[in-house]
Amino acid sequence: MSTLRRLWAIPTARFALVVLAGVAFLAVFGSALAPHDPLKQYTDRVLEGPSGDHLLGTDYLGRDVLSRLMAGTRLSVIGAAEAVVIGAVLGVPTGLASAWVGPRLEWLALRISDTLVILPFTVFAIAVAGTLGNGLQQAMFAIGVLISPIFFRVTRAVALGLRTQQYVEAAELMGASQWWTLRTHIWTKVLPNVAVTSAQAAGAALLVVASLSFLGLGVTPPAPTWGGMLASDLGYLTQQTWAPVFPGLLMMATVGSLNLLADAIRDATGAGTSARRRRRTPATSRKERSGAVVS
Amino acid sequence: MTAPATEPAPGVPVPGDGAVRADSRARRALPFLRSLASTALVTVTVLFLASVITFALGALSDSNPAAAALGETATQADIDRLNAEFGLDRPLVVQYFSWVGNALGGDLGRSWFTTIPVSDSIRQALPVDLSIAALALVLAILIGGGAGIGAALSNGGIFDRAVTLVCSLLGTLPPFVIGMALIVVFAVKLQALPAGGYVPITVDPLEWLRFAILPGLALSLDVAASIARQLRTSLVGSLRENYAVGAQMRGFGRSRVLFGHVLRNAAGPTLAVIGLAIPLIIGGAVMTEKLFGLPGIAQLALQSAEKGDVPVVLGTLLVTAVIVVAASLVINVLQKALDPLARQGSARRAAR
Locate the domains of chain A by residue range. Answer: 1-269
User: Which of A117, A122, A255 minimises the CB distance to B286?
Assistant: A122
- Compute the distance between CA of residue A263 and CA of residue A70 in angstroms, rounded to an integer: 27
- Compute the distance between CA of residue A275 and CA of residue A157 in angstroms, rounded to an integer: 8
DSSP track, B196-243: S----TTT-HHHHHHHHHHHHHHHHHHHHHHHHHHHHHHHHHHHTSHH
Structural domain contains residue B14: no
- pLDDT tens-digit map of A45-63: 766 777 766 777 777 777 7
| CB-based contact B310 A211, cutoff 8 Å | no
Give the residue on A whose Cα is nearest the Cα of B56.
A131
- pLDDT tens-digit map of A26-49: 888 877 777 777 777 777 776 677
Structural domain contains residue B7: no
| CB-based contact B180 A252, cutoff 8 Å | no
| CB-based contact A119 B279, cutoff 8 Å | yes
How long a stretch of residues is chain A? 295
- Supply the range of the domain harboring residue B129: 120-351
Q: Do residues B143 and B98 share a domain?
A: no
Kindly report the number of other CB atoms within 10 A of residue B104's CB atom. 9
Mention every residue, 6+ apart, whose C-beta is less than 8 A from residue B11: none
Q: Do residues B93 and B190 share a domain?
A: no
C-alpha distances (whole Å) from A193 to each of A42, A186, A215, B210, B288 are: 48, 11, 32, 45, 34
Give the residue on A whose Cα is nearest the Cα of B299.
A215
Given this model, what pLDDT does residue B81 score? Answer: 72
| CB-based contact A115 B49, cutoff 8 Å | yes
Given this model, what pLDDT does residue A290 score? Answer: 41
Kindly report the number of other CB atoms within 10 A of residue B105's CB atom. 9
Given this model, what pLDDT does residue A207 score? Answer: 86
- Compute the distance between CA of residue B201 and CA of residue B208 in angstroms, rounded to an integer: 5
List the one residue out of A103, A121, A111, A108 whose CA is nearest residue B46: A111
- Report whether A150 contacts A294 (CB < 8 A): yes
Q: Do residues B219 and B70 share a domain?
A: no
Q: Last residue of some domain: B61, B77, B104?
A: B104
Structural domain contains residue B2: no
Given this model, what pLDDT does residue B132 score? Answer: 86
- Compute the distance between CA of residue B263 and CA of residue B125 in angstroms, rounded to an integer: 37
Q: Do residues B55 and B169 share a domain?
A: no
Residue B117, classed as helix, strand or coil, is strand
- Compute the distance between CA of residue A152 and CA of residue A197 in angstroms, rounded to an integer: 10
Structural domain contains residue B4: no
Mention every residue, 6+ apart, whose C-beta is less than 8 A from residue A292: B226, B230, B272, B273, B276
Low-confidence ranges of chain B (pLDDT < 50): 1-16, 345-352
- Compute the distance between CA of residue A52 and CA of residue A66 in angstroms, rounded to an integer: 12
- Counted domains in chain B: 2
| CB-based contact A130 B283, cutoff 8 Å | no
User: Between chain A and chain B, how many beta carbons pairs sit less than 8 Å apart?
Assistant: 167
- Report whether B321 contacts B279 (CB < 8 A): no
Given this model, what pLDDT does residue A89 score? Answer: 93
Given this model, what pLDDT does residue A293 score? Answer: 39
Q: Do residues B184 and B265 share a domain?
A: yes
| CB-based contact A127 B316, cutoff 8 Å | yes
Per-residue pLDDT of chain A (295 residues; tens, 9 = 90+): 677 788 788 888 888 888 888 888 888 887 777 777 777 777 777 667 777 667 777 777 777 778 888 888 888 888 889 999 999 999 998 888 888 777 888 888 888 998 898 888 888 888 888 888 778 888 888 889 999 999 998 888 888 888 777 888 888 788 877 778 877 778 888 888 888 889 888 988 888 888 888 887 776 667 788 877 877 777 777 677 777 788 888 888 888 888 888 888 888 776 654 443 333 333 433 334 443 333 3
Residue A45, classed as helix, strand or coil, is coil
Q: Do residues B71 and B185 share a domain?
A: no
Q: Do residues B145 and B221 share a domain?
A: yes
- pLDDT tens-digit map of B208-253: 777 778 888 888 888 888 888 888 888 888 878 888 888 888 888 7
| CB-based contact A118 B302, cutoff 8 Å | no
Q: Do residues B205 and B139 share a domain?
A: yes
Structural domain contains residue B211: yes
| CB-based contact B172 A251, cutoff 8 Å | yes
Residue of B317, B323, B328, B341 to mutate when probing chain A, most A C-beta within 10 A: B317
Structural domain contains residue B45: yes
The predicted model scores a pTM of 0.79
User: Which of A120, A132, A238 minimises the CB distance to B282?
Assistant: A120
Q: Do residues B154 and B66 share a domain?
A: no
If 0-12 CB within 10 Å is exposed, 13-18 middle and 19+ buried, where does residue B153 land? middle
Q: Do residues B203 and B305 share a domain?
A: yes
Residue A279, classed as helix, strand or coil, is coil
Give me the residues paired with residue B110 across strands: B117
Structural domain contains residue B17: no
* CB < 8 Å to A251, chain B: 172-174, 177
* CB < 8 Å to A227, chain B: 174
Q: Do residues B166 and B257 share a domain?
A: yes
A1-269 homologous superfamily = MetI-like (1.10.3720.10)
Q: Do residues B158 and B95 share a domain?
A: no
Give the residue on A whose Cα is nearest the Cα of B46.
A115
CATH number assigned to the domain comprising residue B340: 1.10.3720.10
